[in-house]
Amino acid sequence: MSKRPTIAEHLKASGVSRRNFVQLCGMLIATAPVGLSLTSKKSVLQVAAAIGKIKRPSVIWLHFQDCTGCTETLLRTSAPDVAHLILDVISLDYHETLMAASGVQAEAALRSAIAENEGKFVLVVEGSIPMKEDGNYMQLGSKPAVQVLREVAAKSAAVIAIGSCASWGGVPSADPNPTGAVGVDSIITDKPVVNLPGCPPNPYNLLGVVLEYVTMGKLPALDDQGRPKFAYERVIHENCPRRAHFDAGRFATAFGDEGHRKGWCLYKLGCKGPVTHAACATRHFNEIADCWPIGAGIPCVGCTEKDVVWKLGTFETVPIHLATPPDNYPPIYSPIGGVSIGAAALVGAVAGGLGGATYVYSQRFTSSQEAGAERIEAGQAEKQLDKKSDRKEV
Amino acid sequence: MSTATLSNVPFGGSKPPAADNKPRWERAVPVYGVSVITPIFLALAGLAVLSLFLTVYREVVGLGPASGMNDKFGWGIWKTFNVVVLTAWGSGAFAVGVFAWVFGRKRLFPLMRMALLTSMLAYACGLCLLGVDVGRPWNFYWVVLPWHWNIHSPMAEIAICMSVYASIPLFLENIPPILERLWHVNVSWQPAIERVEHALHKFFPIIAAAAYLLPAMHQSSLGALMLLAGQRVHPLWQTPFLPLLYVGAATFMSFGCVAGTTMLCCLIWKRAMDMEVLDEAARISAWTIFGWLAIRNLDLLFRGSLFTAFHFTRYAGIFWTETLLIAYGGWLLLQSLKTHKRQTMFVGYALSSLGGMLYRFSPTTLAYMPGPHTMYFPSAIEILIALGFASIGIAIFLVMVKLLAILPASNQEWRNMAAYYKARKPAISRNKYLGFFGHNELSLSDKKSH
Amino acid sequence: MAITRRELITNIGKAGVPVAVAMTVGTQTLQAEELTVPTEPLSLFYDASLCIGCKACESACNAANNTPPDISRDGLHQAPADLNVFTRNIIKLYKPADGSPSSFVKRQCMQCFDPGCVAGCPFEALYKDKDDGIVHWDGSKCIGCRYCTIACPYSVPRFQWLGFNPVITKCELCSHRLAKGLKPGCTSVCPTSAVIFGTRSELLLEAKRRIKNNPGRYYQDRVYGETENGGTQALYLSRVPFEKLGLPEIGPDSGPSSTLRWQKRIYSYFALPAVLYAGLVTVIRKNLKGYEQEAHEQEKETGLRAQL
C-alpha cells in the first residue's frame, strides 16, 4: 500500500457513510480535551473538513516491561471507541495485544510496518525498558528491549510514552529497581517524546495527543517533563471536587469514619493530590462519574509522579504549595485607611510647635507693651534736631 | 504731585498725634534694620524646597503612595486644609476690605496692606497646592472655556472664581506697594509709575467690588461642597446654611489672621501698636463671632440636631471644642477692649482663629462619615508638602514685609527709616538701582521740586 | 466722607428691586426646568435572592472592559475587597452573625436619574446620556478633583491612585458592547439570571411581577431604585433589608435636588451676583471720593508721599 488514502477516502471505501463520519467528528469535537487545536474549530463540519483531508497516520505500538494496563485503559473509551480509533482515525499497524498475528508473522508485520512508513509513523511505547545486564531482562524477538526501541524509534516521526512505566520507569523502577528500568526519554533523545504518565493514564490523554497530531500534524504543547499541558498542567488539588471540604477544614481522619462516609477531604489520610500533576479530578475513568480514586474514597497515590508514588509513604501527608484563595466574599463594609506613626508624630510636632510659639509670643505682649512708645519718643527727639538743619521732606 | 492714595489714609484727616502720645498708624513702613536671611527664614525655605522635591515625587508615582487618601476619603489635607481652611484664614482682603470700604470703617485702613498681602500669599499657595492635588491638571484649561462649565457645581464655582480672583482683583490690589517701592528706586521711572498708579486708582471701585464679591462667592461655595455629601456629614455640621456659615467663619478667622499677625509683627520688630485700629478690629471680630455662633446654634436647635451635641461621641467633642474656642476667643476680644491688654486680644484672635479652622475643617474630614471602618489620616509626605507650601507663603511674607511698605506704623517711623538708610548708604545717589525708601524724597527736596 | 448706614441701605434697597425680579424670574424658570429624563433608560435588574455568589460577573466585567483582575489581595487570586479602579462591579456577602438569612449583593454604578457625580463634576467630565441614561466619564475634561467620589451617595466612582495619568472608573453598562448589539458582560454570564439587562420600564414590570407572584418573599415588597435617590436605573430586589446590603435608604429626593437648590437659585443667570456687584461699585466709589480728599490733605501736611 504505497498510496495511502485520506481518512475521508478510506471511510468511503469502508462503507462508512458521510453522516457517520460527521457524527464521529461531532464526538471528537465534543470530547476533545480543551487545549488542543482541535477545540478551536468552531463547527463539526470544520473538523470533518480538517480530518477528512488527513491520511490516517500509521501507529506502531511496542510493549516492554508493562502490565498492559495502558492498552486496557484505551479499551474503555467510547468517543471514539477503539474500533473507530483503529479503523477510522489511525492505522494501528503493530499492536501485540490487539493484532491477530503472532510469532514470525508478528515480527514480519513489524518489519514491514516500519519499512512502509519509515519516518512517518508514530511510535507508542508502553512499559519501561530495563537497562541492567545489557538490557537483557526483556527481549523482543531475541533482541534486548533497548535495542528494539532504538531501532524502531530511529525510524519514527514521534514517540508517545504511555503510562508511568514508559514515562519514567513506573512500577519496575521502584526501589531497588533490580532491572534498571527507565523511561523512554532516558534512551531516546533525538526524537520528540510525549510522556503520558499515570497508572494507568486516562485514555483521553492519549486520544487527545493522537487527535492533535492527526488533525494539526503537530504534537500539543508540552511542559518541562514532556507531558502535554492540557492534561498535566495542574495538580489534582486544584480541581478536586472535594476541595471545598479542604478549604473549610473538613477532613476524614480514618477510613470509614463519619468524615469519610460524608465524602470529606482525604488530605489527612495521605492524599497526594496537592503534588500530583494529572487530570483525573476533572476527567474520571470508565466514563462513569466519580469513578476515580478520590471519588471512591481512596486518597490519591500520585501515580503520575516519579518523586511521589513509590517514594512517599501511603499515609504520608504532603506540603501544599498553592495557597487557598482568600476568604470568600468581601463584607458589605471593608476597612480602609489607617494612620502611620511618622505622620502622627509629625502632626503632633507641628501642633506642639505652633501652639508653643503662640503661647510664648502671647506672653511677650505684656513685657513689651511700651516698646513702641519709646521709638516714637526717640523719633520725635530726632525731629527736633532735624528742624534745626531746615531740611524739608517733600 | 503724586496721585491721591487709597488704603492708608489715617482717620480723622490731618489731626496731629494726640497729646497723650498714643501711637497711631498713619502709613505703612517697611521693616528696616533686619536682615532678610534669618534662621526662621532659612528653616522655612528649607521646608519649602523639600516640599517641592516631594511634589515631583507625587507627580511621578501618583496620589496613592504620596498621600493618605483612599477610595472613601478622596480629599486629603491639601484640599481640606490648605484650600478650605488656610484660604479662609487668609481671606483678610475680603473681610477687612468689606468692613473698611463697603461699611465705611475707616479705622481699619492701616490694616489693608497686611490683609492684601496675607490674602495674596494664602490664595497663591492654596491654588498651587490645589494644582498639585488634582489628578489630571492638564485639563484645567477648561477653567477659561465656559461652554463646559457645570455652573451648578460648587467645585466649578470654586475653581473658576478662585482662579479669577487670585489672578486679577487680588493681584492688582497687591501691586501698589511694589509700584511705590519702584517709585523710590529711580527718578526717571516715576512718570510711568504714576501713570500706572493713576489707572489703578481710576479702576479701583471696579477692582475692589470684584475683590469683595468673588470671595463671598467662593468662600460660600467651599461650604456648599459638602452639601452634596448629605447624610455622610454629621448633623452637627450638615445644614443648608453651610455656605453662609463658611463665609462667616472666614470673616472672623481672617480678622484673626490680619490683626493677630500685625500684632505679632509689631511685637517682633518692636513697632508701636495703634490700639484704636486694633480695638475696632477686635470689636468687629467679636460681634461677628457672636452673630455667627447665634446663627449656627439656632439653626442646630431649629433643625433638631442640637441634642446630638450632648451624646458622648467624638463628634460632640469636636463640636464643643470648636464652639468653646470660638466663643472664648470672642469673649477675650471683648475683654481686651475693656482691659486694654494686648495679650488678651492676641490670645482671643488665636483661639477664635483656631476654632474657626476646626469648624471649616470638620465637615470635610473629621465629621465626614463615608461608612463604617473607614478612616483617613494624612501620610508624612502629605503633611510635609502641605507644610512646605504654607512655609513658602510665610517665607515670602517675611521677605515682602522687609522689602515693601506693608506693616503699619506712624509717619515718624517713616522718617526714622529714611534716616536709617541715609546714614548707612551715603553714596546711594550714584546708584540708580536698589534705591531705598525716602531717598527720592530727599533728592527731590534738593532739586527744589515742583 | 464715610457712607452712612442709611445711604448704604438705600443703595442696596434701590438695587433690591431688580434683585427680587431677577430671583423670581430665575426661580420660576428653574422650577419649570425639570430634570431631563432619558428617552429610553437602560437598566440592570438584580434579584439578590437568585444570586449564588459565583462571581462570574466580576471576571466577565474585567474581560469586557479589558481591565486586569485585581490580585492585590495575595498576588494570586482575584479577590478585591471593594470597588476600585480595576473592579467596576463586585459581589459582597451580607452574613449576620446571629444566623438570620444572609444574602449576596452586586454593587456597581446605579445610573441615577439625578446623579450626584454629574451634579458635582466641574467640567462635565461625567455626563448622562440623553437616550439611554448611562453615566459616562470623559477623560478629556476630567481634572481629577475627585468630587464625584464624595458626591456619589453609593460611593461608586473610583479614582486611580497609582501613576501620573489617573482615571475615574465605574460601570458604564458596557456601552461599547451595547453598540455592537451585545449585552453587558455581567448579564451575559450570570448562570441564574440574577442580574438581567433591559429597558427600565420592562425590568420594573418584571420586578413588580415577581413581587406579586411571590408575596412575602421580598423585603417590603419594594423595588429599590424605583424612587430612591430620585430614581435609579439599577433596580434591586432583596430578601433582607436593603440597608444591610449597603444600599442606603436615601428617600425619594436625590442629593443634588435637595442640596443644590439654593445654589442654583442664587446663581441663576448670575443675576444676583451682577446686582450685588453694581451695588458694591456704587458704594465703593462714594467712599473713595471722601478718602481721596483726606489723602491730599495728609500729603500736604506731612510732606510724605501718600500711599496707594
Please measure the distance between the N-terminal and C-terminal CA atoms of chain A and give it in whole angstroms. 127
Contact A393 C92 (CB under 8 A): no
Q: Label residue A24 by pLDDT band (50, 70, 90).
A: confident
> What mean pLDDT do residues C31-60 have?
86
Among A341, A358, A363, A366, the strongest candidate for a mutation testing the B interface, having the largest count of B CBs within 10 A, is A358
**Chain-wide mean pLDDT for chain A?**
85
3-state secondary structure of A149: helix
Length of chain A in terms of residues written: 394
Beta bridge partners of A126: A63, A162
**What domains sit in chain A, N to C, each tagged with a CATH number?**
56-230 (3.40.50.700), 234-326 (4.10.480.10)
Q: Are C191 and C52 in contact, with CB atoms under 8 Å apart? A: yes
Per-residue cell: B219? 468662600
Strands A58-63 and A139-140: unpaired
Check whether the bond before C215 is cis (ω within 30° of 0): no
* pLDDT tens digits, one per residue of B5-29: 344 444 333 344 455 667 889 889 9
Residue numbers in B near C253 (CB within 8 A) = none
Q: What is the pLDDT of residue B206?
A: 94
Cα A5 → chain centroid: 36
Q: What is the pLDDT of residue B9?
A: 41
| % of chain A residues with pLDDT over 70 | 86
Q: Nearest-CA neighbor of B346 among B332, B359, B356?
A: B332
Contact A373 B21 (CB under 8 A): yes
Least CB–CB distance from B267: residue in A364, A383, A394: A364
**Chain-wide mean pLDDT for chain C?**
87
Per-residue cell: B359? 469648624
Check whether the bond before A200 is cis (ω within 30° of 0): yes
Least CB–CB distance from C303: residue in A331, A334, A394: A394
For the ranges B259-268, C86-95, C259-268, the lowest mean pLDDT is seen at C259-268
Q: Nearest-CA neighbor of C89 among C195, C182, C162?
A: C195
| Torsion angles phi and psi, residue A140, rounded to 5 | -125, 110
> What mean pLDDT do residues C15-39 have?
57
Cβ–Cβ pairs < 8 A, chains A and B: 117
Q: Are A175 and A83 in contact, with CB atoms under 8 Å apart? A: no
Q: What is the pLDDT of residue A171?
A: 95
Domain presence at residue B439: no
Write the DSSP symbol of residue C270.
G
Domain presence at residue B293: yes
Contact B414 C140 (CB under 8 A): no
What's the maximum distance between 2 C-alpha atoms anywhere in chain B? 78
Q: Label residue B432 by pLDDT band (50, 70, 90).
A: very low
* Separation between Cα atoms, residue B242 and residue B223, nearest integer Å: 5
CB of C7 less than 8 A from some CB of B: no
CATH fit for domain C42-257, picks 1.20.810.10, 3.40.50.970, 3.30.70.20, 3.40.50.2300: 3.30.70.20
* pLDDT tens digits, one per residue of A305-338: 999 998 999 999 998 876 666 667 899 999 999 8
* Separation between Cα atoms, residue A292 and residue A288, nearest integer Å: 9
* Separation between Cα atoms, residue A355 and residue A230, nearest integer Å: 70
Q: What is the pLDDT of residue A213?
A: 86
Q: Are C15 and C280 in contact, with CB atoms under 8 Å apart? A: no
* pLDDT tens digits, one per residue of A213-248: 877 888 999 999 999 999 999 999 999 999 999 888
> What mean pLDDT do residues C210-219 have?
94
| Torsion angles phi and psi, residue C107, rounded to 5 | -110, 130
Q: What is the pLDDT of residue C305?
A: 75
> What mean pLDDT do residues A75-86 have?
79
Domain presence at residue B449: no
Tell me which residue range forms the domain holding B215.
Answer: 35-409
3-state secondary structure of A376: helix
Q: Are C179 and C20 in contact, with CB atoms under 8 Å apart? A: no
* Residue A42 in this model has a pLDDT that exceeds 50: yes
Residue numbers in C near A333 (CB within 8 A) = 246
* Residue B419 in this model has a pLDDT that exceeds 60: yes
Query: Which residue would you say has higher pLDDT here, C292 or A379?
Result: C292
Q: Cβ atoms within 10 A of the Cβ of A105, count? A: 11
Q: What is the pLDDT of residue A19?
A: 78
> What mean pLDDT do residues B163-170 have?
95
* Residue A25 in this model has a pLDDT that exceeds 80: no
Length of chain C in terms of residues written: 308
Strands A91-95 and A58-63: parallel
The H or E element containing residue C94 is strand C90-94
Looking at chain A, which residue has its C-alpha nearest residue C106? Answer: A332
* Residue A168 in this model has a pLDDT that exceeds 50: yes
Contact B10 C298 (CB under 8 A): yes
- Per DSSP, the residues of A18-52 read HHHHHHHHHHHHHHSPBTBGGGG--SHHHHHHHHH
Residue numbers in B near C140 (CB within 8 A) = 139
3-state secondary structure of A380: helix
Q: What is the pLDDT of residue C4?
A: 65
Domain presence at residue B72: yes
Residue numbers in B near C298 (CB within 8 A) = 9-10, 13-14, 26
Cβ–Cβ pairs < 8 A, chains A and C: 46
Q: What is the pLDDT of residue C30?
A: 46
Among A354, A375, A390, the strongest candidate for a mutation testing the B interface, having the largest count of B CBs within 10 A, is A375
What is the total count of domains within chain B? Answer: 1
Q: Residue B103 is which amino acid? A: F
CB of A325 less than 8 A from some CB of C: yes
Per-residue cell: A184? 523512554
**Chain-wide mean pLDDT for chain B?**
88
Write the DSSP symbol of residue A172.
G
Q: What is the pLDDT of residue B160?
A: 93
Chain A nearest CA to C70, separation (Å)? 13
Q: What is the pLDDT of residue C31?
A: 44
Domain presence at residue B168: yes
Q: What is the pLDDT of residue A78?
A: 79
> What mean pLDDT do residues C116-130 have?
94
Give just the sign of the alpha carbon dihedral B214, B217, B222, B228.
negative
Contact B104 C3 (CB under 8 A): yes
Residue B379's CATH number: 1.20.1630.10
Q: Cβ atoms within 10 A of the Cβ of A111, count? A: 12
pTM for this entry: 0.73
* pLDDT tens digits, one per residue of B72-96: 999 999 999 999 999 999 999 999 9
Domain presence at residue B2: no
> What mean pLDDT do residues A150-173 have?
95
> What mean pLDDT do residues B128-142 have?
94
Q: Residue B312 is which amino acid? A: F
> What mean pLDDT do residues C180-186 have?
95
